[in-house]
């Protein structure tokens, strides 16, 4: 009797291949943007660019095509739902969705923007910021934002931010059109914004004079010749006028973070993954945000 039970359990369960229809053939243009946050043309173009990385190397075992992988990841970014919920909408298992999100996030994170150093591009940035509140020589607005994560198993205390939540501290610089010019997404939530900046390549580039222009930051950053912060207690009309112009110009980074988190709701809630995976997801959404802008 016991032998028969063991043999029954040892029989391999038959694999079930779900229907994997092309999402772009199911929805119209408005529904695609609502569900995946990108246009049909942008998704197809991005699929072609990532084909070498995402494309299956074999046709065995119903391998997942690059287009479906990208749509699966986009759906996860847009909703922040459980992996099995996302899998139910595209015909994939929870394990497959997890692998797909990791693979797509890694491919997209390699495309993070690099802060421009070309004089023509810096001049364009200065004109754009000047048109906001007539603040001269500004090439970017800098700030940090927190992305909630599940408490990690290793070094858990380092990820607790000042509000008592587990998070990653994401530092970014944006332009006047709310597009990100630079993003650093690898620091625990307990690390201060100023420390993240001091350990970044961007800090070295400005300190060495490689970038002609200034950044605008809040009072949490140190005052530098290339990094201007507001007066804490303005006492003269000139200081108050400076603070007004500074606030309205630097406000672009606050709005950029708001648009990013609303566009990709996975950043607005809690990401239930290890910090290394969350870093890749954040970088991937930054790249997609710039495409959408």
Q: What is the pLDDT of residues 95-139, one digit of tens each?
A: 999 999 999 999 999 999 999 999 999 999 999 999 999 999 999
Question: What ranges in 173-292 are assigned the alpha helix state H?
Answer: 193-198, 201-207, 237-263, 275-292
Q: Which residues of the chain have pLDDT under 70?
A: 1-21, 57-62
Rounded CA Rg of the chain: 23
Phi (first) and psi of residue 198, to 5 degrees: -65, -20
Contact 93, 103 (CB under 8 A): no
Residues contacting 220, CB < 8 A, separation 6+? 144, 192, 193, 194
Tens-digit pLDDT profile for residues 47-67 = 999 999 998 766 665 688 899
Instruction: Write out the two tokens for 172.
Output: 């970014």
Q: DSSP assignment, residue 192?
A: -
Backbone angles phi, psi at 228, to 5 degrees: -100, 135
Structure tokens given for 104: 């797509």
Residue labelled with tokens 């369960």: 13
Q: 146 near 165, Cβ under 8 Å?
A: yes
pTM of the prediction?
0.89
pLDDT of residue 3: 55
Please state, in angstroms and rounded to a whole number, the distance separating the CA atoms of residues 219 and 192: 12
Please enumerate in sequence order all residues whose Cβ is within 8 A of that of 234, keeping only pairs 6 or more positions apart, or say none.
Answer: 240, 242, 243
């Amino acid at each position: 009797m016991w032998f028969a039970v063991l043999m029954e359990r040892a029989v391999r369960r038959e694999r079930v291949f779900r229907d994997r229809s092309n999402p772009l053939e199911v929805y119209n243009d408005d529904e695609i943007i609502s569900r995946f946050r990108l246009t049909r043309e942008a998704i197809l173009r991005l699929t072609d660019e990532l084909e070498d990385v995402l494309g299956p190397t074999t046709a065995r075992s119903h391998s997942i095509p690059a287009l479906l992988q990208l749509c699966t990841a986009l759906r996860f970014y847009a909703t922040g739902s459980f992996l099995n919920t996302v899998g139910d909408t595209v015909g994939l298992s929870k394990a497959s969705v997890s692998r797909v999100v990791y693979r797509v996030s890694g491919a997209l994170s390699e495309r993070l923007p690099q802060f421009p150093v070309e004089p023509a591009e810096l001049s364009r940035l200065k004109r754009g910021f000047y048109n906001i509140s007539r603040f001269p020589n500004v090439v970017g607005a800098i700030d940090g934002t927190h992305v909630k994560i599940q408490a990690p198993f290793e070094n858990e205390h380092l990820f607790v931010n000042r509000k008592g939540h587990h998070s990653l501290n994401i530092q970014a610089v944006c332009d006047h059109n709310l597009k990100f010019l630079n993003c650093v997404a690898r620091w625990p939530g307990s690390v201060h914004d100023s420390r993240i900046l001091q350990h970044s390549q961007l800090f070295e580039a400005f300190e060495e004079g490689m970038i002609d222009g200034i950044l605008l930051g809040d009072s949490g950053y140190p005052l530098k010749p290339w990094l201007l912060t507001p007066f804490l207690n303005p006492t003269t009309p000139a200081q108050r006028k400076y603070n007004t112009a500074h606030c309205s110009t630097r406000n672009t980074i606050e709005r950029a973070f708001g648009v990013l988190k609303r566009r990709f709701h996975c950043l607005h809630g809690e990401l239930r993954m290890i910090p290394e995976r969350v870093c890749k997801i954040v970088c991937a959404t930054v790249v997609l945000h710039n495409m959408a802008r």
